[in-house]
Amino acid sequence: MTNQDLLKAIQNFGSPLYVYDTSIMKSQYKRLQDAFKKVTNVKIHYAVKALSNISVLKYLHSLGAGMDTVSIQEVQLAIEAGVPVEDIIYTPNGVSMTEIEEAASLGVQINIDNLSILEQFGTKHPATPVCIRINPHVMAGGHTNISVGHIDSKFGISIHQLPHIKRIVENTGMLINGIHMHTGSDILDVDVFLYASEILFKAAKQFDKLEFIDFGSGFKVPYKEGDIETNVEEFGEKLSQRFNEFCQDYGSELTLAFEPGKFLVSEAGKFLVQVNVVKQTTSTVFAQVDSGFNHFIRPMLYGSQHHISNISNPEGRERFYTVTGYICETDTFANNRRISEIREGDILSFRNAGAYCFTMSSNYNSRFCPAEVLYYDGDTHLIRERETFEDLIKNQKVLSF
């Protein structure tokens, strides 16, 4: 996808605009697949919450991906995209028993992450296979230390509660077919992840009817020059070997599952905005664009630094800019960033705008959510129209006074 393709997309579909390149999704998917080619059964479930447009789900499914979902609505989106229920795993946190039963009745794989629901569900539906989300309490401390932390995380059932899990399983006669972890921490250090995997293997040994072990996600991708990314190849080599050993020891060939979001779609996405105003103050030059944290919240919410380029003046002399939005609130996208000279009307492109960008957009300041475009087969295709004023008011019940 060249700058020309992006500029053409802006001409056709307007600004601001999300554009996703399917060839990058594909190469990332293949990379992960190749890294684990020594394991016979591998299943990659794409984490829908990263980017949930139905066309994106369909595309990833066409590559062979299943779906990892965190809400009943995401389950419904995956089904809408044509993904068979056997390829959908439902990993909610803190949702009601009713919603879990609804998902189970649709036939998707249930993943339970607390003892209360485990006991209720096992009592009512002992024949429905359930996966258990374990919190291994492992996190990376610096680059080399492995520490046992995250004791206060709300996710998963503590590994220390394994005896209680076993008691519930025995008492209810429920069927545990999978063990899962997703620490949410980035896999910067492969050894930290392998350490957590050992804890998961130990837990897995306690259940004799497993079909899969799900190692969650946490694959890191570079956001700007110099960022570290997960060495997926090294990681695949090491975990594959360990997984195959485990299966031999366990006595059956289990499926190794992952649920990457960011890894598959982050780099595939570009967020395009137009510069409304270039404003000089006594200390800085602001480039103010036709968007804000209502469309792209990661810099403000997580402090993430997305690389920005001026695609309508790529050869311009570089200067320092603070890039902000048009929301009536502080919405800084980048501070003091070196960017090719920005003129009013220029189009800026934010990198890594595939994951957790559109899905976190809102109507704050009563602005419309942007349109989304998929770049596929050498051409751009609109996959979500820009909102309109009707969308803003459609659920409002207007009283008269």
Ligand X SMILES: *Cc1c(COP(=O)(O)O)cnc(C)c1O
Helix (H, G, I), strand (E, B) or coil at 200: helix
Asked if the peptide bond before residue 16 counts as cis, ω within 30 degrees of 0, the response is yes
Distances (CA, A) of 309 to 10, 30, 304, 306, 361: 15, 28, 16, 10, 21
Tell which one of 16, 66, 136, 216 touches ligand X (CB under 6 A): 216
In this structure, which amino acid lies at residue 226?
G
Distances (CA, A) of 215 to 204, 284, 295: 12, 46, 31
Is residue 261 within the footprint of ligand X (CB under 6 A)? Answer: yes
Of 42, 244, 239, 212, the C-alpha closest to 131 is 212
247 catalytic per annotation: no
DSSP-assigned beta bridge partners for residue 43: 257
Is residue 29 within the footprint of ligand X (CB under 6 A)? Answer: no
CA 288 to chain centre: 28
Of 84-103, binders to ligand X (CB under 6 A) are: 91
Distances (CA, A) of 97 to 120, 167, 172, 182: 8, 20, 16, 21
Nearer to ligand X, 21 or 346 (CB): 21
CA geometry: angle 239, 243, 249, nearest 5 deg: 150
Is residue 215 within the footprint of ligand X (CB under 6 A)? Answer: no
Q: Which of the 8 DSSP states describes residue 390?
A: H
Tell which one of 263, 293, 358, 375 touches ligand X (CB under 6 A): 263
Stretches 11-19, 216-224, 333-341, 346-354: which one binds ligand X (CB under 6 A)?
216-224
Of 364, 362, 290, 387, the C-alpha closest to 333 is 290
Is residue 218 within the footprint of ligand X (CB under 6 A)? Answer: yes
Of 153-212, binders to ligand X (CB under 6 A) are: 182
Q: Shortest gap between Cβ of 131 and ligand X (angstroms)? A: 11
Nearer to ligand X, 156 or 325 (CB): 156
Q: Which of the 8 DSSP states describes residue 241?
A: H
Of 31-50, binders to ligand X (CB under 6 A) are: 47, 49-50
- Phi, psi at 37, each rounded to 5°: -70, -15
Of 323-382, binders to ligand X (CB under 6 A) are: 355
Stretches 114-122, 213-221, 230-238, 363-371: which one binds ligand X (CB under 6 A)?
213-221
Nearer to ligand X, 236 or 261 (CB): 261
Helix (H, G, I), strand (E, B) or coil at 143: coil
Q: Which position among 131, 328, 357, 369 bears the catalytic label? A: 328
Tell which one of 61, 125, 150, 262 touches ligand X (CB under 6 A): 262
Nearer to ligand X, 217 or 294 (CB): 217
Q: Are strands 255-258 and 285-289 parallel, antiparallel or unpaired?
A: unpaired
With CB atoms as reference, the residue minimizing the distance to ligand X is 261
Q: Shortest gap between Cβ of 48 and ligand X (angstroms)? A: 9
Q: Are strands 347-350 and 269-280 parallel, antiparallel or unpaired?
A: antiparallel
Nearer to ligand X, 218 or 299 (CB): 218
Nearer to ligand X, 71 or 172 (CB): 71
CA distance linking residue 290 with residue 43, whole number of Å:
40
Of 380, 311, 361, 300, the C-alpha closest to 341 is 311
Q: Shortest gap between Cβ of 23 and ligand X (angstroms)? A: 20
Nearer to ligand X, 70 or 289 (CB): 70
Stretches 123-131, 217-225, 316-324, 346-354: which one binds ligand X (CB under 6 A)?
217-225
Tell which one of 66, 136, 260, 299 touches ligand X (CB under 6 A): 260
Whether the CB-CB separation of 200 and 181 falls below 8 Å is answered with yes
Catalytic residues: 328
Q: Which residues bind ligand X (CB under 6 A)?
A: 47, 49-50, 68, 70, 91, 182, 216-219, 259-263, 355
